[in-house]
A and B are shown apart, each in its own frame.
Chain A
């Protein structure tokens, strides 16, 4: 498949993903979307990976570089790619604008928040217990985030 076709296909895929996701967010709300429909966000990566493969690139950086060096006959298509990128970023920032935390959590004592150890998910521990779980004076907490 030539570059131009690949780029146009990618652009059209992303446009469809955005439309489907926007419709889901409107219908069910952003929290539901994050909980159940993040697969739509992943689809964008799938499309991008396919584009990288078709363009013989091993990374997105390389893809960007190749696009910058593209010959004139696909200049318009490259513009289309960047416009797709902008549309995607706009879509994500619109979602971000809807992500709010409820105010009632502000006064809570963080030591009392409840956590479940991954190896014993039925067990519930207070964060204060986790902090005291060994003799170390400090804890370094790392949050793993898969969605917004």
Chain B
């Protein structure tokens, strides 16, 4: 496990999608604005098959308690395994930014990716979530990179 850590994070609130490539042992993040990607989670779901093809799988890590994590799982019918890290030790290790501002924006996160109306049940407040994707790789081969690019995962 060495070389390149790719950290991709999404703030549903700002609808921005940034990917950070972090050379091991360094903290100088290079920020690549990819495209507005409100739906990284959906993208991740859609690309699960592709990720598996290249030998990559996804796990979710939640800092919240069991209750919140289960609520999330039930609501999005998430197929990915979820782990709890209430101390945020891993998150801290990667020096991921802490920010209440980033999880408290006015823009709503809409699980169905469709706008809710007054008649519909309001979504849970997933605008309070930030997804940080960490893709661990010693060396991504050209072929694997091509597959990931094709599904916009890189």
Contact = CB atoms under 8 A, between A and B. Distances in A.
A144 B131 contact: yes
B64, B83, B103: residue with the most chain A Cβ atoms closer than 10 Å: B83
Contacts of A89: 101
Contacts of A121: 66, 84
A94 B22 CA distance: 28
A51 to B, nearest CB: 11
A118 B92 contact: no
A105 interface: yes
Contact of B61 (A92, A143, A147): A143
A146 B129 contact: yes
A145 interface: yes
Contacts, number: 187
Interface string B101-143: 1011011100000011110001001011111111111000000
A143 B68 CA distance: 13
Main secondary structure of the interface of B (DSSP, over half): mixed
Given A42-B125, A115-B61, A140 B44 contact: yes
B42 interface: no
A34 B56 CA distance: 33
Contacts of A147: 63-64, 100, 103, 128
A146 B94 contact: no
A44 interface: yes
Contact of A105 (B52, B64, B93, B103): B93
Interface range, B side: 35 or more
A101 B94 contact: no
Contacts of A41: 100, 104, 128
Contact of A96 (B81, B101, B117, B128): B101
A41 B80 CA distance: 29
Interface in A32-82: 34, 41-42, 44-45, 48-49, 53, 58-61
A125 interface: yes
Interface string A100-126: 111001001011011111110100010
Contacts of A29: none
A2 interface: no
By CB atoms of chain B within 10 A, which of A45, A61, A89 has the most?
A: A45
Interface string A123-146: 001010011011111111111111
6 contacts: A108-B89, A118-B70, A131-B1, A133-B81, A139-B58, A144-B64
Nearest 7 pairs between A and B by C-beta?
A: A137-B55, A148-B100, A99-B98, A138-B56, A118-B82, A115-B83, A143-B132
